[in-house]
Amino acid sequence: MTDNNRYNLRGVSAKKEDVHKAISKLDKGLFPNAFCKIYPDFWGNDDAFCNLMHADGAGTKSVLAYLYWKETGDLSVWKGIAIDAIVMNIDDLLCVGATGPFTYSSTIGRNKNLIPGEIISELINGSQEYFETLNQYGIEVNFLGGETADVGDVVRTVIVDGTMACRMRRDKLVTTEKMIAGDVVVSLASYGQASYETEYNSGMGSNGLTSARHEMLHKDYAKQYPESVDPNLPSEVVYNGKYHLTDATTTPLNIGKLILSPTRTYAPVILKVLEKHFNAIHGIIHCSGGGQSKVLHYLPKALKVVKNNLLPIPPLFNMIQEAAGTDWKEMYQVFNMGQRLEIYTDTETAKSIIEIASTFNIEACISGYVADSMVKEVVIESDTGSFIYQ
């Protein structure tokens, strides 16, 4: 069975073709090539400013948190899910140069019979604690509450989403319009332990969790926790792996915690980078859905992005690939593969960005370059093979 067949049978689309088609006729905003949609300043009515709003969430990672909590009683994993929902919003907004102040509203849908109030408390209080951490690094987020709905007929366990907004000056926006042949790509690691993280991070992020969960975890979980699976899924795509959640790994984390590593934010790094190098930044890309091919959607014209010096693949992604037998080309398109944010700039600025990242204990490197091309394309040259995305 091919990877695409497995994804489709699980109700997952790696490329979201139907979603892109559904929104194709919508207004693209003031800057169509920007990473987030940018709106006029509706409330202030000031042409020097613009409004941004973004909605995202932890996705099916909350199902894994549910399994881990049921198996171990460890409530702390729910704070990680709160962080995932926040970071998937804030790091997309970073890509257009937004560094706050932000406002945030959470949306939690739960099956009350399975998700008790103590989990809701962890999610809400975990959000506030994370905002307090970000504030220590100059990132202001104001928590405006949100909605917690008991929707057991719709949600089997729980889903955690959020909406983030801010108002910023237009002359501080970062788009990809300045991207040119000769630019280099700086990739920032998604793994390790940043100075503002409390433990080792596997680099998982919040994309590809449906695949990772089913390909790595043992069939036992289908019997023990049927509520964690769509009952309409064919049995051959449900929990195909060899691992149990508390199995040890070569990292400081067990299997469950490895896949549940909270999505790393790059907000403290980007704040410093933009303060020092704003005029030299030609694009920032959050390699979330779409992985290392993500930039393809934001190229301003026919350009080729060649990534021939990516950071080493951390253990988790090798484990996922081994468990699933997924083609490496697909791996680079579904997962961040160890680098979840990339910055497009000149070589000298790139060196400075790498130094800034290192002050936060985040590994970074010049991972590639931009070249002229007849078409928009991304080329990955790695130890696992060479792959082209168009």
State yes or no: pLDDT of 16 exceeds 60: no
Kindly list the strands in the beta sheet with 339-345, ordered across the sheet, starting from the edge strand earlier in the chain.
283-286, 339-345, 184-189, 364-372, 303-307, 377-382, 385-389
In one-letter notation, the amino acid at residue 101 is P
State yes or no: pLDDT of 263 exceeds 90: yes
Q: How confident is the model over 164-211, as pLDDT tens digits?
A: 999 999 999 999 999 999 999 999 999 999 999 999 999 999 999 999
State yes or no: pLDDT of 20 exceeds 80: no
CA-to-CA distance for 388 and 175, rounded, in angstroms?
A: 24
Nearest to 191 by CA among 370, 15, 316, 60: 316
Q: How confident is the model over 356-386, as pLDDT tens digits?
A: 999 999 999 999 999 999 999 999 999 999 9
Two structure tokens written together for 156: 């089997």
Instruction: For 32, list phi and psi in degrees, rounded to 5.
Output: -55, -25
Specify the DSSP element, H or E, that contains 21. Answer: helix 17-22
Nearest to 309 by CA among 374, 263, 364: 364
pLDDT of residue 286: 98
Q: What percent of the chain has pLDDT over 90?
A: 89
Per-residue pLDDT band for 33 (boundaries 50, 70, 90) equals confident
- What domain range is 367 assigned to? 3-389
CA-to-CA distance for 389 and 332, rounded, in angstroms?
A: 10
pLDDT of residue 29: 81
State yes or no: pLDDT of 24 exceeds 70: no
Please provide the distance, in angstroms rounded to a whole number, between the alpha carbons at the two ends of the chain: 24
State yes or no: pLDDT of 19 exceeds 60: no
State yes or no: pLDDT of 1 exceeds 70: no
pLDDT of residue 163: 98
Q: How confident is the model over 235-251, as pLDDT tens digits?
A: 889 999 999 999 999 99
**Which residue, chain included where needed, has tokens 């000031």?**
46
Let me know if 289 is exposed, middle or buried by CB neighbors in 10 A (0-12, 13-18, 19+): buried
Do residues 211 and 11 make contact, with C-beta atoms less than 8 angstroms apart?
Answer: no
Do residues 132 and 86 make contact, with C-beta atoms less than 8 angstroms apart?
Answer: no
State yes or no: pLDDT of 3 exceeds 70: no
User: What is the mean pLDDT of the segment spanning 132-158?
Assistant: 97
Do residues 256 and 67 make contact, with C-beta atoms less than 8 angstroms apart?
Answer: yes
State yes or no: pLDDT of 15 exceeds 70: no
pLDDT of residue 139: 98
pLDDT of residue 245: 98
Residue 138 belongs to domain with CATH number: 3.90.650.10
CA-to-CA distance for 182 and 372, rounded, in angstroms?
A: 9
Per-residue pLDDT band for 32 (boundaries 50, 70, 90) equals confident
Instruction: For 113, list phi and psi in degrees, rounded to 5.
Output: -70, -20
Q: What is the chain's length?
A: 390
CA-to-CA distance for 73 and 61, rounded, in angstroms?
A: 17
3-state DSSP helix/strand/coil percent for the chain, to nearest 5?
35, 25, 40
Per-residue pLDDT band for 390 (boundaries 50, 70, 90) equals very high
Mean pLDDT of the chain: 94
Q: How confident is the model over 49-93, as pLDDT tens digits?
A: 999 999 999 999 999 999 999 999 999 999 999 999 999 999 999
User: What is the mean pLDDT of the segment spanning 145-159?
Assistant: 96
- Per the structure, how many domains does the chain have? 1
Cis peptide before 101 (omega within 30 of 0): yes
